[in-house]
Amino acid sequence: MSGKPLVPAIEGWHTMEAKPHLIGTQCEVCGTFFFPKQNHFCKNPNCESTDFREVELSRTGQIWSYTNACYKPPPPFVAKEPFEPYAIAAVQLEDEKMVVLGQLVEGLSVADLKVGMPMELVLEELHETDEDIKVTWKWQPLAS
Amino acid sequence: MSNEIAILGAGMHPWGKWGHNFVEYGVAAAREAMADAGIPWKDVTFVSGGATIRCGYPGFVAGSTFAQALGWQGAEVNTSYAACASGSQALAAARNKILSGECEVALVVGADTTPKGFLAPAGGYRPEDPDWVRFYLGITNPTYFALYARRRMDVYGDTLDDFAAVKVKNSLVGSKNPRARYRKCFTAEDVAASAMVADPLRLMDICATSDGGAALIVSSLEYARKMGKGDAPRVAAISTVTPTFASSVVEMPDIATDSAAAAGVDAHAYRSTIPLKAYEEAGIGPQDIDLAEVYDLSTALELDWIEDLQLAPRGEAAALLRAGDTALGGKIPVNVSGGLACFGEAVPAQALSQVCELTWQLREQAGDRQVQGAKVGITANQGLFGHGSSVIIKR
């Protein structure tokens, strides 16, 4: 191990503990949840609120669908050499009922997945820089 | 009170990777449409262009660019940008001008030149840009279409063979279309042998990007009658509705959907709402449709569209496909132009090319691709940022 510090790839989008949560916002008036955070105007057409509070979103949900990336994406993606395909899941969050995309943890393939499968949010390396290791949220099957 | 306008002419520059300026394609398509209509350029008083965002300033002002290229003659111009629905929005602008009585004959035209490879966002650290976020996290365009395809497999039981059958069907009929870019008849084995891009979609399940141009000459019904073309195909409806909160399907370039949990509203799948206004405006239903041109960005997406247009109950499009009903000669032929599978996408021209195909079909000029007795056709497409359209043409 490199001993480099772990830092979020995108600052402020998730907590950093062992059982992490995505950080969204909730409208103070109508209660609608947003991820990524919405801080300036509510996107519910029946609500004119401009007041939001930060909230931790449910860290579990069910697979809405899944796929993988067999080809190396262009920058700003930072690919390992040689490129390794990775799986991707769209997971519907337990309470908020919104669908959030993310990579699967390393070592899982589409053959391990099924629509409706219970999943949980974890943190894993996205890429490494000279100074630190950038981590992001990924999905993995919920430990039963 | 009729909201209909007449389609007097249709024209296209063949799709391909020609490497020319987009203006050439648009002018070629416009000239073909004018010749088809028997309308001299100087009689056109409104030029409605679909914008291309990849061709610099002339692309942003496409209506004016084409008017200048054809030779300034004082016509008023308009330019529409609505991603994949740009052509329909340009057509809607022409319809408004005609129905308001301000114009009798309009040219609607779109053309594009597209670069090779992935369309990547600008660099830096820009988490406020959803396009930057998704690329940084490794989520490219095929991801979204693969998610929709996989969901069909797990929820409805669609198979890889079904998706390949869409490609085989479209390539067979597209091989008969002289304006298509890909004219080879592919087999299910060809599809299966192509590289996996985003499971379950292989390279041959996904449409390419192309150069191309398409144009229409449209007029008031009265003008068409005066020309002796009172029986020309008519635009019976144009829907360009945006989504309704809360959107339940994750759409490119977003990383997440809306949340319907708190607001006391239902979640909606945008794609299925696009044709509703078109059916209502035309005063007809899915049972009246003879053929459809839909945006098959992937093979599996054609099946989604068939259900979104209500040509099959949800989850049953593959059964229609397996029965041969969506092929030429079937009960409800879909993409008899060959679709995006054979054309590749040329964004500002694509929605117009769908209308061109329906025009030729309804005039019984589609040759080997002719759908016998076609009287009513519908188009459907969807692009980024809440843009989509559905146009109904009838004769």
> Are B316 and B308 spatial neighbours (Cβ–Cβ below 8 Å)?
no
pLDDT at B350: 97
pLDDT at B30: 98
pLDDT at B121: 83
pLDDT tens figures, B240-269: 999 999 888 999 999 999 998 876 677 789
Helix, strand, coil shares of chain B, percent, nearest 5, are 40, 20, 40
Asked if B5-117+210-226 and B234-394 have one fold, the answer is yes
> Are B65 and B55 spatial neighbours (Cβ–Cβ below 8 Å)?
no
- pLDDT band for position A46 (cuts 50, 70, 90): very high
- B118–A73 C-beta distance less than 8 A: yes
- A11–B199 C-beta distance less than 8 A: no
* CB within 8 Å of chain B, chain A residues 110-129: 110, 114-116, 126
* CB within 8 Å of chain B, chain A residues 30-49: 30-36, 43-47
Strands B376-382 and A60-69: unpaired
- B127–A73 C-beta distance less than 8 A: no
CA B296 – CA B84 distance, rounded (Å)? 12
Task: Please report, for residues B63, B221, B265, B347, the alpha-carbon distance to residue B87 in angstroms, rounded to integers and kept in the order given.
Answer: 11, 21, 32, 8
User: Hey, of B257, B268, B304, which one would you mutate to test binding to chain A, going by the most A CBs within 10 A of its CB?
Assistant: B257
- pLDDT band for position A58 (cuts 50, 70, 90): very high
- B118–A65 C-beta distance less than 8 A: no
Residue B39 tokens, joined: 């309308």
Comparing CA positions, the residue from B381, B385, B277 lying closest to residue B335 is: B381
Q: Classify residue B348 by its DSSP letter.
A: H
pLDDT tens figures, B77-129: 999 999 999 999 999 999 999 999 999 999 999 999 987 656 678 888 999 99
> Is any Cβ of chain B less than 8 angstroms from the Cβ of A100?
yes
Sort out which chain B residues have CB atoms less than 8 A from A68's CB and list them.
146, 198-199
> Are A4 and A128 spatial neighbours (Cβ–Cβ below 8 Å)?
yes
**Which residue of B118, B154, B249 is in closest CB contact with A74?**
B118
- Helix (H) / strand (E) element for B69: namely helix B62-70
> Is any Cβ of chain B less than 8 angstroms from the Cβ of A5?
no
Cα of B121 vs its chain's centroid, Å = 24
Sort out which chain B residues have CB atoms less than 8 A from A65's CB and list them.
147-148, 150-151, 154
Residue ranges per structural domain of chain B? 5-117+210-226, 234-394
pLDDT at B54: 85
Q: Which parts of chain B register pLDDT below 50?
A: none
pLDDT at B182: 97
**In a 3-state reduction of DSSP, which class is residue B299?**
helix
pLDDT at B315: 97
pLDDT at B116: 65
**In a 3-state reduction of DSSP, which class is residue B234?**
strand
User: Hey, of B129, B196, B199, which one would you mutate to test binding to chain A, going by the most A CBs within 10 A of its CB?
Assistant: B199
> Is any Cβ of chain B less than 8 angstroms from the Cβ of A58?
no
Least Cα separation, residue B195 to chain A (angstroms): 9
B75's CB contacts (< 8 A; 6+ apart) are B44, B45, B46, B47, B67, B107
Which residue in chain A is spatially nearest to B260 when comparing CA positions?
A: A97
- Which architecture characterizes domain B234-394 according to CATH? 3-Layer(aba) Sandwich (3.40)
Residue B373 tokens, joined: 């007795």
Which residue in chain B is spatially nearest to A71 when comparing CA positions?
A: B197
Sort out which chain B residues have CB atoms less than 8 A from A47's CB and list them.
263
pLDDT at B122: 81
Task: Please report, for residues B149, B150, B162, B200, the alpha-carbon distance to residue A115 in angstroms, rounded to integers and kept in the order given.
Answer: 12, 9, 19, 14
Residue ranges per structural domain of chain A? 59-141
**Which residue of B117, B127, B146 is in closest CB contact with A67?**
B146
- pLDDT band for position A120 (cuts 50, 70, 90): very high
Complex ipTM more than 0.90, yes or no: yes
CA B105 – CA B43 distance, rounded (Å)? 7
Please tell me the CATH code under which domain B5-117+210-226 is placed. Answer: 3.40.47.10
